[in-house]
Homo-oligomer: A and B are copies of this chain.
Amino acid sequence: MHEKLERLRSLDRERNLVARIGAVLGWDQETFMPPAGVAERAEQLAMIEGLAHEKGTLPEIGELLAALGSTDANPPGDPSLPPMDRAYLRVVRRGYSRAVKIPKALVEELARAGSLAQAAWAEARQKSDFKAFAPHLSKMLELRLKVAACIDPAKKPYDVFLDDFEPGSTEESIAKVFGELRTELVALLGKIRSRPQVDDALIHRHCPEAAQVALSEWVLDELAFPRDRARLDKSAHPFTTTLGADDVRITSRYHEDFFVSSLFSAMHECGHALYELGMAPAPEYARTSLADSASFGVHESQSRMWENVVGRSEAFWKSRWPKLQATLGDTLRGAGVEDFVRAINKVEPSLIRVEADEVTYGLHIILRFEIESALVSGRLKVEDVPAAWNAKCRELLGVEPANDAEGCLQDVHWSFGGFGYFPSYSLGNLYAAQFWEAMRKDIPGLDASVSTKAGLEAILAWLRRNIHSKAATLLPDELVKSVTGEELSPRHFVKYLREKYGRVYGF
């Protein structure tokens, strides 16, 4: 049995190695590649993807899984195995079954159609022309529904999709959580809107890119971003990617009239990177499928905890104010830290998700969840998406898009068939607040502790011990129960928002 497991890990590590080679190619494409390199790079990526698929669907993997008792009905396999090995079998079985159940022709059609749909989406968004994108959206939906039917025809397709991002979640469980969240967010937003608005002019003062880079690098040092295992570069959109167990890259972008955008992007991506760099369930599982995140939502909890809970707190900036002012030169001359903290926490309903504040962000996600789950179940037709979007936007946020570019065409996700992805973003906020509450029990004076580097290190050590090192050994609901003693609930996040925005808006 031990030899079979080791053989399985060895095949898995090889597949993982190929995937990391693909990550190097992808990172370079987004950061440094000269533009004309794109055609050949696409072929290089296709070759690596093909090879990874080959390595991930080897019949020997299926034979080893079967010999270890792992089946679709009983993924963790032989009950006599230690829990970590059973968790590993569960993870490998899941990936293997998904990979072998989808016919190669369908995989290739999805890749082609997705590539066309993404290009069509980019053009349609630019022209604010939903009709031009609609046939591509229909095609991606049709193909993804075929995929769902291959994986588990007995399950609701949206639940199959959710499983890719948040294993164990269902439309029903998400709807329940989001239902509670929605009520609370709408009420809180009402309270905030009854108070005088915050003035955030100071974070729109001009700030040269070089100063922003220096700021990001300094803050990354404060967050113990490990320079020997990670680095920050520039790209069109911020992202994190793992090129090796000891090689994680993050990127940021710089707007000279909105310097906090790059600052919080760096903190956000740093949170993802620290998680990636801490996934060490056991030495024998290094570089295997078990050294992965518990879910997209848990991953997002790490980025949002550092960005929002830590990075938008008064305690973090109060002790660092002189250094922040000095790093930015003229930009913050004459400003006070209280005004800065209020400015970075301004709440204002807006049309664009990626620019939303912590309070309205959840409403943007609920809007998308309701529309995509209706689309996938057939309750909503593709052609009716714009009208449904605009109505929900008005209902939830009180604002309405003037066109589809700032409405239902704003996000890329559906164009690559990523139905079920959006909920993870909001779940991340919920996990983060709930983990933070649990951390309070172990770290006295937690909220104030972010003022020092030692305090931040203690937080990272706690996360390493309780979350990062667990990697994918626990399902997200198991993880949240083991760490916090209860099921995922929006109440911690709501409490956090109420207290924080009560201070910011004075109620």
Contact = CB atoms under 8 A, between A and B. Distances in A.
Contacts of A47: 14, 17-18, 21
B20 A231 contact: no
Contacts of A17: 40, 43-44, 47
A444 interface: no
Contacts of A18: 47
A24 interface: yes
A305 to B, nearest CB: 23
3 nearest A-B pairs in the assembled complex, by CB-CB distance: A37-B247, A40-B244, A36-B246
Q: How many copies does the complex hold?
A: 2
B44 A228 contact: no
Interface residues of A, number: 35
A41 B43 CA distance: 21
Contacts of A229: 34, 36-37
Nearest to A16: B40
B32 A233 contact: yes
B231 A36 contact: no
Interface in A274-302: 287
Contacts of A14: 47
Contacts of A34: 227-231, 246-247
Interface string A40-83: 11011001100100000000000000000000000000000000
A185 B424 CA distance: 72
Interface string A7-23: 00000001001101100
Interface in A179-234: 226-231, 233
Nearest to A245: B40
16 contacts: A21-B25, A21-B44, A21-B47, A28-B28, A28-B243, A32-B231, A33-B247, A34-B230, A34-B231, A36-B229, A37-B243, A37-B244, A37-B246, A39-B246, A40-B244, A44-B244
A44 B21 CA distance: 7
Contacts of A39: 246
Contacts of A245: 40
Contacts of A43: 17
A322 interface: no
Given A34-B227, A34-B230, 19 more contacts: A14-B47, A17-B47, A21-B21, A21-B25, A21-B47, A21-B48, A24-B25, A24-B28, A24-B44, A28-B28, A32-B32, A33-B243, A34-B246, A36-B246, A37-B244, A39-B246, A40-B244, A44-B244, A51-B51
Interface in A117-174: none
A334 interface: no
A36 to B, nearest CB: 4
B246 A40 contact: yes
Nearest to A35: B228
A496 to B, nearest CB: 34
Contacts of A24: 24-25, 28, 44
A44 B18 CA distance: 7
Nearest to A230: B34
A338 to B, nearest CB: 37
Contacts of A243: 28, 33, 37
Given A229-B34, A231-B32, A247 B48 contact: no
B228 A40 contact: no
A214 to B, nearest CB: 14
Contacts of A230: 34
A40 B243 CA distance: 9
Contacts of A36: 226, 228-229, 246-247
Contacts of A44: 17, 20-21, 24, 244
Interface string A240-253: 00011111000000
A61 to B, nearest CB: 18
A464 to B, nearest CB: 17
A252 to B, nearest CB: 15
A361 to B, nearest CB: 32
Nearest to A45: B21
Contacts of A21: 21, 25, 44, 47-48
Nearest to A37: B247
Nearest to A22: B21
A59 B53 CA distance: 24
